[in-house]
Structure 1
Amino acid sequence: MTRTAILSDIHGNLTALQSVLEHVKTQSVDRIVCLGDVVGYGPKPQECLDIVAGFDFCVLGNHDSSALFDPEGFNSAAEQAIFWTRAQLELPDQEESAPNEVSPSRKRLDFLCSLPRSVREEDVLFVHGSPRGPTNEYVMPEDIQNTKKMEKLFSLVQRLCFQGHTHVPGVFSHHLMFTPPAEIDDDGYDLSEPDARYMINVGSVGQPRDLDPRSCYVVLDESRVFFHRVEYDIEATVRQIEAEAELDNFLGYRLREGR
C-alpha cells in the first residue's frame, strides 16, 4: 500500500512547513497530501502555496476559500489576516512572465480555485472539516459526548476519514472514543479492527492548538497511522508576523504556547 504523509492547516507558516518537509524526508513516504488551509493567519502565503501545489493533492480549507471569497464567521484578527492574504496573492509579479506563460500569481489563484472539497480513494476519505461538512464543520474531542452528531458523521465514513480544521490531532473511533497523540506509542495507532471506522485529525503544521507548539502531521502505512511532532523556529515566524503591520501580533505569539 502507498505510504502517505498527510499534512493540514499550514496557514502560511513557511518555517514550520519547511521543517515538517525535512522530517517527511526521513519517513520513506510515497506521496504527500494536504487537507487544506494552506493560507490564512501566517506571513508567507505565496511560498506555501507554491510548495503545496507540488503535492499529490490538496483539498479546500475554509481559509483557502475565504482567500477567494468573503470570510464568514471569522474573528477580527482572522478576518484581517485573510484580507491581507488575499492582497498578497493579488500583488503584481515583480518579474514579467514570458509571452503565453501564466504568471506565478495567476497560478496560485488558479490552484486555489481548483481545490476539491473532498477526495475519496476507495474506503478512505480526505476532507478539511468533516465527512458531513467537508470545508467548514468542526469535530472537537468533546464531541464524543454528542452521540447524535458522531453517529451521523460515522454513517458517512466507510473506513477512514482524514481531516484537520480544529488544529487538535487525534483519532476518533466509531466506539465514541477519542485518542490524542500523547496516548499513542511509537508503533502507531492500529486501524485493523474488523468493521471499525475512524476519523483521524492530523493536527496542524502551522498553528497547533493542543498546547503543544510543535508542528503535527501523520503518516498512513497500511493499517497503522503514525503521528509526528516536529520542532521549528517559532521565533522566526513571530518576527515575520511582527514585520507585517496588517497581521495581528497575537497570531505569532500564540504559536509559542500551541493555542
Structure 2
Amino acid sequence: MRIAVISDIHGNLEAIKTAYLDILERNADNIICLGDLTGYGPYPNEVVDFIREKRILVTLGNYDASVYERKFNYIRDNEINKFCMPWTADRLTKRNIEYLKSLPERMTLKYGRKEICFAHGSYRDINEYLNEDYEKLDEVMKDFFGDVLVCGHTHIPYKKIFGEKLLLNDGSIGKPKIGRPNGTYLILDINNENIKVEFIEFKYDTNKTADAMRKEGLPLSCIEGIMTGIE
C-alpha cells in the first residue's frame, strides 16, 4: 500500500495539479490531504473543486476553519491574513463552504497492526505547530496512542522517531517554507509491519501562480513568499 500525503495547498491550483500528476507517476494507491486547501493563493474554489473531483480524503485545516467561520481563531491576526482570509471567504461558493465545514479534524487508519493518525496541526489541535524544536513535542508523542502521526501545518517536511512511534510532516504543496519555491509531500510505503517514508520535492509553474495573484491584487509579501519559499 502506497499512500501519498499532501497538505497546505493554500489556493495554489498550479501546484496541486503538478503534484497530482507526480503522485500518479509514483503509483500511489491513495492520497490523503491534511487540510488548508484555501488561503493566500488565487484559486480557492478551483482547488476545493479539484480535491473533490479526485475524491481525495481530507482533514480540516486551520485556515479552512478560519475562512468558513470568518474569524481569526485559528490563524494569526496579521496584515496578510486580514486581507487573504475575507478575500477567500468572499469568493468561495456556498457549496464549497459547506464542504469545508464537513471535514473531520483528524483521521485514523489501520494497516495490519499499525495505527496511523492523520491531522493538520496535531491530533489534539488543528492549530498546534509541531515544529522539530517544539518544546512540547515529547509530551505530544508520549500521549499519542497510535504508531504513526502524520501532520502538516508547519510547511516544513521532516521525520522524527520517538521510541517505537514515528512523527512525520509532509511540508506544503502550495506555500513552502523550505527556502525554495518547490512544493513537497510524502509517500508512505506500507508493507505488512514495515513503513518506508519517501519525501518528494517538486517544481511547478510559480510564475503562473504569481501572475494570477497579482491580477487579483493579493499582497506582494504573500506573492514573494510563494516565489521564494521563505515566510
Q: Say which of 104, 112, 118 aligns to 1:126.
A: 118
Larger radius of gyration: 1
More strand by share: 2
TM-score, normalised with respect to structure 2:
0.90
How far is 1:157 from its partner? 4.2
Q: 5+ unaligned residues in a row in structure 1: which ranges? A: 90-104, 176-195
Moved more, 220-229 or 248-257: 248-257
Kindly state the Cα deviation for residue 201 of structure 1 after the two structures are TM-superposed.
0.5
Instruction: Tell me the secondary structure at the aligned position of residue 18 of structure 1.
Output: helix
Residue equivalent to 1:14: 13
Select the residue among 152, 162, 165 that pairs with 2:150.
162
Residue 131 (structure 2) aligned to one of 109, 133, 140: 140
Unaligned runs of 5+ in 2: none
Question: In structure 1, which of residues 195, 209, 213 is the aligned counterpart of residue 177 of structure 2?
Answer: 209
Seen in structure 2, the aligned counterparts of structure 1 residues 112 and 210 have a Cα distance that, compared at 3 Å, is: same
**How many Å separate the matches in 1 of 2:83 and 2:22?**
32
Q: TM-score, normalised by structure 1?
A: 0.81
Distance in 2 between the 1:56 and 1:248 partners?
30
Superposed, 1:75-154 pairs within 5 Å as 75-89=78-92, 105-122=93-110, 123-133=115-125, 135-143=126-134, 146=135, 149-154=136-141
Aligned-partner Cα distance in 2 for 1:120–1:79: 33
Q: Distance in 2 between matches of 1:162 and 1:3?
A: 14
Post-superposition offset of 1:209 = 0.3
Q: Percent identity?
A: 31
Query: How far apart are the structure 2 equivalents of 1:32 and 1:49?
Result: 15
Q: Shift in Å at residue 79 of structure 1?
A: 2.6
How large is the RMSD of aligned CA atoms in angstroms?
1.3
> Does the CA contact (< 8 Å) of 1:238 and 1:249 recur in 2?
no
Shift of 1:19: 0.8
Q: Distance in 2 between matches of 1:74 and 1:205?
A: 23
Whichever residue aligns with residue 168 of structure 1, its letter is I
Query: How far, CA to CA, are the matches of 1:40 and 1:142 in structure 2?
Result: 26
Counterpart of 1:197 (choices 165, 171, 179) is: 165
Kept after mapping to 2: 8 A contact 1:67/1:86: yes
| 1:4-28 residue CA offsets vs partner (Å, 9 max, x unmatched) | 1110000000011111111111111
Q: Which one-letter code corresponds to 1:107 in the other structure?
A: R
